[in-house]
A and B are shown apart, each in its own frame.
Chain A
Amino acid sequence: MAVFQAALVNEIEKLYKKKKALVAILLSLAVIVIGQLAIVVVRSGFGLRGAGSVEFPMLVLSVVVNTILPLFTALVAIDSFSGELSQNSMRITLTRPVSRFKIFTAKITAIVLFILATLLLLLIFSMLAGFIFNTNSATWDSLVRTVFSYLVSLFPMVVLALGIVLLANLFKSGISVFFVSILVFIVLKVLGVVFSQYSSLLMTTQLDWYNLFLVNSFPLGKIVRQFLIMLGSGIMLFTAGFYLFDKKEF
């Protein structure tokens, strides 16, 4: 466990010191500022309500889970695998008394922590912006649902990250991984529209699964089914990604 802990601390230090993750988080926060400005302009210019204090964080979430959050997750995941592979710096860790499984798991855990930190920061700042600038329409129930929606959005994002990690272990160059990831993302989005009856199986549709928690008649069956689909695909992607990482020659 101490070895895994060391590997995890190293991965977090690298994420932090590289400053890419920090820039990603700052850009995410910029979305809140731009979104809030847009709502203020709409309200004062056209006399429309825009969004209430609790609706604003949900508006932010619906935008970021389909745009910048997958994008930054891809950048961090690609950098952690393809980036280190191309610079040969992966060897620095690989020749220490730590198994490849622990290195792989530590890298994935650091990516998960990055996604969680971004989601939490977005939640806190969008709530603050919502309460300060928008008319107060908050109830405890809607507040709890908002927090929950942010937290559950972590799961589909982790599955997506595992998919990108698999690609990063399949292709050598980071740029190829990035473009293939975007292509796959778009194809899955289109497939989700064309074959809407099967869309719940696709990871791009699962990004919006937080909506299930907002329905008044809590659809437990659907939530469990979606969760199990995500868990299954997550386990498969993790295993396939690790298999390739373990077989790799450095």
Chain B
Amino acid sequence: MNAPLNHLHKVSLQSKDYKDNVTPFWCPGCGHHGVLTSLLRALSEIGVDPNFLVNISGIGCSSRLPYFVKSYKMHTLHGRAGPVATGTQLARPDLAIVVSGGDGDGFSIGGGHMPHLARKNVNVTYVLMDNHVYGLTKCQASPTSRREMKTVTTPYGGVEEPLDPVLYMLTYGASYVAQSYAANAKLTTRLIKEGMEHKGFAFINVLSHCPTFNDIDDAKSFKEASDEVPTEHDVADLDAAMHVVNLANRAGRVPTGLLYRVERPTLDQRMAELVERVGGHPEYDLRKIIDLSRP
């Protein structure tokens, strides 16, 4: 059942070849267009075979992304893309799997799944398109909305502090944590590419401006708030990664680039080892199991 660990079946395709024949339904000027472009470029640069690629999403503007990528794909339930992808990955470790979704999908309704994707080191790439607002339901506060933002549910301004996705994922034990903003296609493409090549759970938070419902963050402000992590940052040092993020948060800045990366066994590898340890194989005689229940 467990396939070779090189899950990226290679072909040679242009990034446009990864576009499915569905036009993105996002508003003009939406950051998600940029994230899609970066994803298609990353797929082309790696050379992923679309037949062995699965895009999985939940519900939200960003969760429509799979429709626009030529691949196998699932458009599932609000907040549940992570566990669906876990099932697909464990069932078929030979597939390349990309999860996409928004801040509400990933950190509000689906927030309970995040620690488990990270600690289990499920070998998928999770691209969180973080626009700090619920867009598809037309402007409600999300868990990453800045407090001063006015939305339909916070007409006088918010009353809650936002959470920081990358800080959570570092704490939860994700083995690859990175951050970018949608307008920075070069960095976003590189981070998605390296995330897909990383064996383990790769989390990439992409600040993706919503031109329609978020009037306090835009492409320009995301760019201006961002500081790429210094080249001397040691990505293997978890304490350093936490420190970079905490320092930036205190200064009201957004650290971009690869924050942390560590190699450790993935969930499917551990499963394969377990099967090997018990001498398992698909043809194992069921009678040996049934005989254990003889009186």
Q: Do A and B bind each other?
A: no
Q: Which residues of B contact A (CB under 8 A)?
A: none
